[in-house]
Structure 1
């Protein structure tokens, strides 16, 4: 997949994607270094790779094994281009395999933190300590290095945790792109600055200018109808598109009956009154809830909601003669909905990616699909969008349907709306809302025995979730003070009819996802 915005005036580092869940985290890290990057599938033609004229190439990780018959491989000729190359995890093994080394299954799968020891200094490890913690995620190991290659770092379980071949070839068995690796950003900065010699002059202003130009070029004189929810993604996408094509764009808010408490009125106020976006409100709640009757599988929920969502928009688009549907799709949506070999393993279908029907009457416009959440917020600030919208916690397209585990109906929706409202209200009161990346309540498909008013109760259970993250590809559960959790729990049990127990989710991503469904 290529970047949606590209400018030839900036130097580019090319990332060849072998199916890692973290491939675009590499691109995001390079942007922090102010380096323009493009992500392409591993099997793009050698001619296309050359035409980009990259200053450097990064080979991503991936779920495959290089020695398997069906393993993905890039062109061996890229190692003869005289361009600096960095292989990460599978990328390191690809370098070894292609250039005469040996790769084999390890005695155990290594996942999690490991202590790295630098055994030979190089430009890649400039300004990092001799020992530090890295993040491992691999089952295979390089057992024999290619000729003229030397190890430059090791761990207790990996003799070739980092390698170097003069004058431009490097490999890492660990993942510098994830936040779990100490000094990971410095290592990537060393690669693009001291090895690729990039100028590091690409900024979000460049993205904004080129995104606006790209929208204008693609849309031409056609009209665009915008899928907006009031979240930062759709808000930024709407304002960006409005800046690009003016009155050719109209935003539409579809109330699917799965919104949070008072959300529709709040969204209308923010977008129409504060941001000045043309907005049409469509009440389709009864249609969505009717189609969700009896649906309990989360993937089926997403597909039902996604299909209905597009059908409603197609109907609205006909009345406005629109040719394009705007969506605030981000890269975490895309990568979690992809599948190997195309290229990453499917985790879940996102309503605005894999949940779309195969045939649509509208062409998709997704100007943010190469960005991560923090980058979208940076872009929103650049566009002058108020902080209330920019720092609003993410809310999934399928809404409360995937925060109700099991059957979705109006009664269960009302229980969850009330509990979630109390939770968010107390987080804001404790000045924790901006410290947390995403917080929400979940209604579980179980009941618990309790004692309320000296009588036995048998009521629903609410789970609370709060995480902190930068890129939403990995996340840590947030340690909310016990006094706040106690206040939230007490209020929910006393104020929400039908709930007698509250639990707190302390699972990070991975192994969990942020949402429960």
Structure 2
């Protein structure tokens, strides 16, 4: 987090040049020329098929390849998986057409029904066994025969029914490869005849615990990126994949894009994950409430919000907090200044704590403050994630204070067309409003996440509504970063106008049926990841 630390860049410069006596002779142009040489020596005269999403990574990858190789040697492939933003497929084709002819494949129906094989869990708790949906166990190999026959595998559910975040990512990653393989076959190619190119970045490999980023092989996978799925890894072993950007971070890729003369609209486009909306919809079929852990964490959360009146009797907190944090927390929870209330959400959020992936709870804070003190809320979020090890994410509920003292129900959610359309509509409204307020360039990224939680459920007019007919809520996950390995949320009123939040809330709640509340993510990375899944 060098760039997010006060005087961080200057501290780093002092170390490099004053202490280590390094010389500032490196330029991004050197890396571009080096990439050209690597591409030519690896590819030789083989045709290259570039998997393109239209984002900055795949666009820079395509630009490098079309500059390094003869134009007729490079083929661009754009696959619509059914989880793109509104009108995004047309925008992608328009962006990529400047490099080469785009082979567009609409595979949305294929992805919805797609399955893959994942390694069988070695051990399961009795609770996990009781709750796990039936899956077909197999020792057979999958579509590309990429798994060893002696490894016990189990088949996932179809993507439209799958609720496990890692399984969703692996299904999507493997299905991309299967769709490409079918496309190649239809055009009289196989993977033996071509090189597959991807815009994989260093953070993708690090978070996926790829051997390309972790030579020890013992790194913990934070999340499986679609461009580092099991099938992709096997194709790498066969030397059928080239990833010219695999040693770069996002800020470096943008610099390469500028060097290559790409349009700023392409270079500074907000990142959008390959799995798209599929991982911005939290899928679940039951509340996540592990026995004892949920109750204990909920009680600890309430103790933090009541710290000003209970601090002398909460030794577990006082042992963790510094003296300065105790003073700040006592002030933040003072009843004459705020009326904060909290509730633990019965859903799993993906985070990174201690360099390892965590599936932990999200905590929600609400109040009747018409003008929330955002810097105080960020401080409160940091204290909560520091002291509650089973919480990796904290959100603030925009609008009036909720009435819930606890939430024990969820809205059953899978990747069905109606749910995808709901998430797509919320994302569309948020993006349009962010651009209208001139905040697109000041925010690095803003995932709009659909979570299966309805607030104040008991106050809905129709008391007979079934649980499956419940509402969802939306989380705005603003993010400030350069390298996308670490980052922090944007501060409303500083990074962007406060009116933007009000307009997003009003527009979504008015125009998208079935949305309960809008939440604002207060958590840095770490302990939370950029995406919720």
What TM-score results when the alignment is normalised by the length of structure 2? 0.60
Matched, 1:434 2:450: no
Alignment RMSD: 2.3
Matched, 1:327 2:198: yes
CA distance in 1, matches of 2:222, 2:471: 32
Displacement after TM superposition at 1:364 (Å): 1.1
Given that 1:225 and 1:317 are in contact with CA atoms closer than 8 Å, whether structure 2 keeps it comes out as: no
Report 1:160-179 matches (<5 A): 178-179=2-3
Displacement after TM superposition at 1:236 (Å): 0.6
Match of 1:303 in 2: 170
Given that 1:449 and 1:459 are in contact with CA atoms closer than 8 Å, whether structure 2 keeps it comes out as: no
Matched, 1:221 2:45: yes
Given that 1:302 and 1:355 are in contact with CA atoms closer than 8 Å, whether structure 2 keeps it comes out as: no
CA distance in 1, matches of 2:514, 2:93: 31
Higher relative contact order (CA 8 A, sep 6+): 2
After TM superposition, the structure 1 stretch with the greater mean CA deviation from structure 2, 458-467 or 246-255, is 458-467
Q: Report Cα offsets for 1:153-194 as digits up to 9, x if no partner.
A: xxxxxxxxxxxxxxxxxxxxxxxx633544443344344334
Match of 1:34 in 2: none
* 1:408–1:190 CA distance, 2 compared to 1 (3 A): same
Given that 2:174 and 2:229 are in contact with CA atoms closer than 8 Å, whether structure 1 keeps it comes out as: no
* 1:238–1:320 CA distance, 2 compared to 1 (3 A): farther
Match of 1:471 in 2: 483
Determine which structure has the larger helix proportion and give its number.
2
CA distance in 2, matches of 1:358, 1:239: 24
Secondary structure at the counterpart of residue 471 of structure 1 = coil
Matched, 1:391 2:215: no
CA distance in 1, matches of 2:44, 2:500: 52
* 1:301–1:362 CA distance, 2 compared to 1 (3 A): farther
Displacement after TM superposition at 1:510 (Å): 0.8
CA distance in 2, matches of 1:347, 1:288: 23
- Give the unaligned 5+ runs of structure 2: 115-158, 284-413
Displacement after TM superposition at 1:217 (Å): 1.0
CA distance in 2, matches of 1:491, 1:258: 22
Given that 1:193 and 1:199 are in contact with CA atoms closer than 8 Å, whether structure 2 keeps it comes out as: yes
Secondary structure at the counterpart of residue 162 of structure 2 = coil
Match of 2:23 in 1: 199
Match of 1:285 in 2: 108
Which of 225, 235, 239 does residue 350 from structure 1 map onto? 225
Which of 499, 515, 519 does residue 483 from structure 1 map onto? 499
CA distance in 2, matches of 1:355, 1:298: 15
Q: Give the count of matched residue pairs.
A: 339
* 1:281–1:362 CA distance, 2 compared to 1 (3 A): farther
Given that 2:48 and 2:197 are in contact with CA atoms closer than 8 Å, whether structure 1 keeps it comes out as: yes
CA distance in 1, matches of 2:427, 2:476: 9
Displacement after TM superposition at 1:504 (Å): 1.3
Match of 2:417 in 1: 410
CA distance in 2, matches of 1:249, 1:357: 19
Matched, 1:501 2:498: no
Given that 2:471 and 2:516 are in contact with CA atoms closer than 8 Å, whether structure 1 keeps it comes out as: yes
CA distance in 2, matches of 1:422, 1:355: 35
Secondary structure at the counterpart of residue 519 of structure 2 = strand
* 1:452–1:422 CA distance, 2 compared to 1 (3 A): farther
Match of 1:313 in 2: 180
What TM-score results when the alignment is normalised by the length of structure 1? 0.62
* 1:484–1:188 CA distance, 2 compared to 1 (3 A): closer
CA distance in 1, matches of 2:57, 2:232: 22
* 1:454–1:302 CA distance, 2 compared to 1 (3 A): closer
Match of 2:149 in 1: none
CA distance in 2, matches of 1:181, 1:461: 33
* 1:400–1:180 CA distance, 2 compared to 1 (3 A): same
Displacement after TM superposition at 1:446 (Å): 2.3
Matched, 1:294 2:119: no
Displacement after TM superposition at 1:482 (Å): 3.1
CA distance in 1, matches of 2:439, 2:458: 31
Secondary structure at the counterpart of residue 226 of structure 2 = coil
CA distance in 1, matches of 2:458, 2:223: 38
Report 1:111-130 matches (<5 A): none
* 1:459–1:187 CA distance, 2 compared to 1 (3 A): closer
Given that 1:239 and 1:277 are in contact with CA atoms closer than 8 Å, whether structure 2 keeps it comes out as: no
CA distance in 2, matches of 1:427, 1:420: 11
Match of 1:338 in 2: 209
Given that 1:237 and 1:327 are in contact with CA atoms closer than 8 Å, whether structure 2 keeps it comes out as: yes
Matched, 1:368 2:260: no
Secondary structure at the counterpart of residue 352 of structure 1 = helix
Report 1:266-277 matches (<5 A): 266-272=91-97, 275-277=98-100
- Give the unaligned 5+ runs of structure 1: 1-176
